[in-house]
């Protein structure tokens, strides 16, 4: 008696495998871009500055633990900015995306340690292009920045495009002499095509940018570097 013939298994179409891999990569990019380094409780906690951008298109949370107390981490935040101390992102990121940026400072710069005040502007591009405004400041525990300038002027004027974006840096002592540094971004965009681009491209990129920034601050603040007037390097 002949055994019943077993149908030959067909390999999954290559296109389906590629689509599945792409879907997993997109989902991972969205998850990391919104949450990398942060805990569930940190993401759920309401922070000062959340009220600045109601009903955000996207809210992201990133965090890092630094082996230094908040008062040693804080000076690195004070001097951030374009053609100031930079944003402490990896140098390859700056070269690729922001070639006009100077390398981020690797030392605390005395000339940039003026206390931040509400209303101060922190540049994020050449004069008159993009900047953050200090909305709330409570050294060494809280810095809230906001921007509505991070779009080309032509987009804002001719296309009625807009982005309202807040950054909250929260520094909390961890009980062991260290700091838990959380960075929350909340952005509201319009019209629909800008929202789609923001979610598709900016959110995954935020994992690289935010995680790189926090790692850069951690490397600099623990152990703390000395004071000086130079101290720029390719990190």
Q: Write the DSSP string, 44-56.
A: HS--TTGGGSSS-
Q: Which of 156, 218, 144 is nearest to 186 (CA)?
A: 144
Give the pLDDT band of residue 78 (cuts 50, 70, 90). Answer: very high
Count how many residues are written for the chain: 235
For the stretch 116-131, pLDDT in tens is 999 999 999 888 889 9
Q: Are 163 and 150 in contact (CB under 8 A)?
A: yes
pLDDT tens for 101-121 read: 889 999 999 999 999 999 999
pTM over 0.75: yes
Residue 91 has phi, psi (to 5 degrees) of -60, -35
Q: Give residue 185's pLDDT.
A: 94
**Domains, the chain, with CATH or none:** 47-228 (3.30.530.20)
Q: How far is CA 147 from the centre of its chain?
A: 14
Ramachandran quadrant class, 145 (left: phi over 0; alpha: psi -120 to 50; beta: rest): beta
Beta strand 108-109 with 227-228 is: parallel
* pLDDT of 233: 47
For the chain, what is the mean pLDDT?
Answer: 85
According to DSSP, residue 161 is labeled -
Q: Kindly tell me if the per-residue pLDDT of 77 is higher than 50.
A: yes
DSSP 8-state code for residue 200: I
pLDDT range class, residue 25, cuts 50, 70, 90: low
Each residue of 168-219: pLDDT tens digit? 999 999 888 999 999 999 999 999 998 898 888 878 878 888 999 999 999 9
Could you tell me which residue, 211 or 32, shows the higher pLDDT?
A: 211
On whether the CB atoms of residues 92 and 208 are closer than 8 A, the answer is: no
pLDDT tens per residue, range 143-159: 999 999 988 877 887 88
The confidence score (pLDDT) of residue 26 equals: 63
Classify 222 as helix, strand or coil. Answer: coil
pLDDT exceeds cutoff 60 at 228: no
More confident residue, 6 or 132: 132
């Amino acid at each position: 008696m002949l055994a019943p013939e077993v149908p030959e298994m067909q390999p999954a179409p290559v296109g389906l495998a590629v689509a599945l891999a792409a879907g997993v990569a997109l989902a991972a990019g969205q998850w990391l871009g919104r949450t990398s380094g942060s805990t569930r409780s940190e993401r759920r906690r309401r922070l000062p500055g959340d009220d600045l951008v109601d009903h955000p298109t996207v809210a992201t949370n990133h965090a890092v633990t630094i082996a230094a107390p908040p008062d040693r981490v804080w000076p690195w935040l004070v001097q951030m900015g374009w053609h100031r101390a930079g944003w402490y992102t990896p140098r390859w990121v700056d070269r690729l995306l922001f070639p006009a940026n100077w390398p981020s400072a690797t030392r605390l710069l005395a000339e940039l340690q003026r206390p931040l005040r509400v209303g101060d502007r922190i540049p994020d591009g050449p004069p008159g292009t993009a900047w953050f405004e200090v909305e709330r400041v409570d050294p060494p525990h809280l810095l809230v920045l906001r921007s509505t300038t991070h779009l080309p002027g032509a987009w804002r004027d001719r296309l009625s495009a807009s982005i309202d974006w807040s950054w909250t840096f929260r520094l909390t002592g961890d009980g062991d002499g260290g700091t838990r540094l959380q960075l929350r971004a909340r952005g509201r965009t319009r019209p629909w095509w800008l929202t789609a681009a923001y979610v598709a491209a900016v959110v995954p990129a935020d994992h690289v940018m935010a995680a790189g920034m926090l790692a850069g601050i951690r490397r600099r603040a623990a152990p703390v570097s000395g004071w000086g007037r130079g101290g720029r390097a390719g990190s």
